[in-house]
Amino acid sequence: MTAVAQREGVGAPTTGVHPPHISVVVPTYNERDNIDELLARLVAAVPAETELIFVDDSSDDTVEAIHAAAERLDVAVTVHHRPEAVGGLGGAVVEGLRRAQGTWVVVMDADLQHPPDLVPQLVAAGDDADADLVVASRYVDGGNRDGLANAYRRVVSQGSTLLAKSMFGRTLAGVTDPMSGFFAVRATSLDAATLRPLGYKILLELMVRTKPRRIVEVPFAFGSRFAGESKSSLKEGLRFLRHLAILRLGKSQLRMLGYAAVGVSGVLPNLVTLQVLTAVFGVHYLTAAVIANQVAIGWNFVLTDKLIFRSRRQRSLLARLGQFAVLGNVDLVARIPLLALLVGELGLGYLSGTAVTLLVMFAIRFFVLDRLVYVR
Ligand code: GDD
Ligand code: MN
């Protein structure tokens, strides 16, 4: 749903003739009580032709609040409400970047932790330095992070900055605040189609994937929230770690690594079952081994299905489980003959032979799961 209110002055629609110098993109998720103040301060701060874009995933009446405030202030705004919050905060920002028509796009939060009067300064700094990206930083001289509510948030913020810097040292060199949610980007330097946003850290995504040519920082005081509550959570924290891993490794490599980890973890239920069946129930060790293998397959299936291929569960549960079980048991009939071949015919030691067969089976299973079971 997109609605454009047609008005003169700030935010006047500029489709056609000349693009605005600045577009402001504000992601909103249940921010109804911040809208009045935000919009009033924005309108007071930015040049008249500035384009104002809200990308909303709210379940409350934030959209109505935006329209009401725009009416009161007599400005035009674009409000795009997304039916599904794909990619969370970052997904919303990228949607805004796609829609923005300005030479510069400024991204900022709705809760007034990012001072609206800084918007023109960010853009001016970018123009002066002929930069592609201007980061509003809490960590350069003159900036502060007083708005980080408590010690816990401060530690998390500092920790994630360190982690990101250690993983992407070269790209982030000279940038003190890659976790900032307040920045200005030159539209021509940006191909939004290359972005794969996942959660909060959209600036990091942008820097790692688009490698801006010249970056400058402007200090800012990270204020406290005007109204409402932060939407960040432990779940967002985990999403951030996954985001980092995907940025570093790529999605399919991460998947393969995860699948390998699941496989290794399956050794535990396998051994426990084997032990219980033989020692407690007196089952013959070969029978016990076959049963233990099934238990491990069940374990691996649950983890693989829930964690590794969660987004690609097109087939029915029964089909997935059935195919997974077949793949798991191929081991019993295919790996042992392969081992015999490697050791008997090719003269490999049985330990290295076993290692080779395990790796080969791992690769085959992953390939079949990736291509045939969890279809895209
Ligand atoms: N559309 C949309 N969809 N907006 C969202 C979503 C979402 O899923 N999640 C959060 N937002 C919006 C909020 O409504 C707000 O305008 C902005 O994104 C920031 O959300 P907060 O919940 O206020 O985040 P924060 O204050 O904890 O974190 C901010 O500061 C961090 C630095 O400490 C963000 O700017 C982070 O990006 C930044 O790293
Ligand atoms: Mn906030």
What is the crossing angle of helices 251-265 and 267-275, to 10°?
10
Q: What are phi and psi of 313, to 5 degrees?
A: -90, 75
**Which residue's CA is the nearest one to ligand 1's atom 10?**
89
Is the pLDDT confidence value at 17 over 90? no
Atom of ligand 1 nearest to the CA of 153: 33
- For the CA atoms of 54, 51, 37, 143, the dihedral, rounded to the nearest 10 degrees, stands at 100
Q: pLDDT value at position 16?
A: 52
Q: pLDDT value at position 1?
A: 47
CB 88 within 8 A of CB 18: no
Q: How far is the CA of 12 from the centre of ligand 2 (A)?
A: 28
Atom of ligand 1 nearest to the CA of 88: 8
Q: Which two tokens stand for residue 342?
A: 């490697």
* Average predicted confidence (pLDDT) for the chain: 93
CB 14 within 8 A of CB 6: no
Alpha carbon 339 to chain centroid distance?
A: 42
CB 355 within 8 A of CB 343: no
Percent of the chain past pLDDT 70, that is, above it, reads 95
Is the pLDDT confidence value at 6 over 60? no
The ipTM of this complex is 0.98
Q: Which ligand is nearest to the CA of 80?
A: 1
Buried b (16+ CB within 10 A) or exposed e, 136-165: bbbbeeebebebbeeeeeeebbeebbeebb
Q: Which of 232, 236, 244 to mutate to test the pocket of ligand 1 (most atoms within 8 A of CB)?
A: 232
**Which residue's CA is the nearest one to ligand 1's atom 9?**
89
Q: Which of 200, 201, 233 to mutate to test the pocket of ligand 1 (most atoms within 8 A of CB)?
A: 200
Q: pLDDT value at position 3?
A: 52
Q: pLDDT value at position 11?
A: 59
Residues 130-160 have pLDDT tens digits of 999 999 999 999 999 988 878 988 999 999 9
Percent of the chain past pLDDT 90, that is, above it, reads 87
- State mean pLDDT over 295-299: 97
Q: Which two tokens stand for residue 283?
A: 């089952």
Q: Is the Cα torsion angle 230, 234, 238, 244 positive or negative in sign?
A: positive
Q: Which two tokens stand for residue 77?
A: 């705004």
CA of 34: how far to CAs of 2, 27, 78, in Å?
21, 12, 17
Q: Where are the alpha helices (DSSP H) in the chain?
A: 35-45, 62-73, 88-99, 119-128, 151-167, 169-172, 202-210, 234-249, 251-265, 267-275, 285-303, 317-330, 336-340, 350-368
Buried b (16+ CB within 10 A) or exposed e, 96-134: bbbbbbbbbbbbbbbbbbbbbebbbbbbebbeeeebbbb
Is the pLDDT confidence value at 114 over 70? yes
Tell me the C-alpha distance between 352 and 349, whole Å: 5
Is the pLDDT confidence value at 4 over 70? no
- State mean pLDDT over 37-43: 98
Neighbours of 89 (CB within 10 A): 26
Is the pLDDT confidence value at 242 over 80? yes
AA identity, residue 319: A
CB 34 within 8 A of CB 5: no
More confident call, 153 vs 79? 79
**Which residue's CA is the nearest one to ligand 1's atom 17?**
109
Residues 306-335 have pLDDT tens digits of 999 999 999 999 999 999 999 999 877 888
Q: pLDDT value at position 8?
A: 46
Tell me the C-alpha distance between 116 and 101, whole Å: 19
Q: Which residues line ligand 1 (CB under 6 A)?
A: 27-29, 31, 55-57, 85, 88-89, 92, 109-111, 113, 148, 157, 179, 181, 200, 230-232
7-21, 55-69, 157-171, 329-343: least confident range? 7-21
Q: How far is the CA of 89 from the centre of ligand 1 (A)?
A: 6
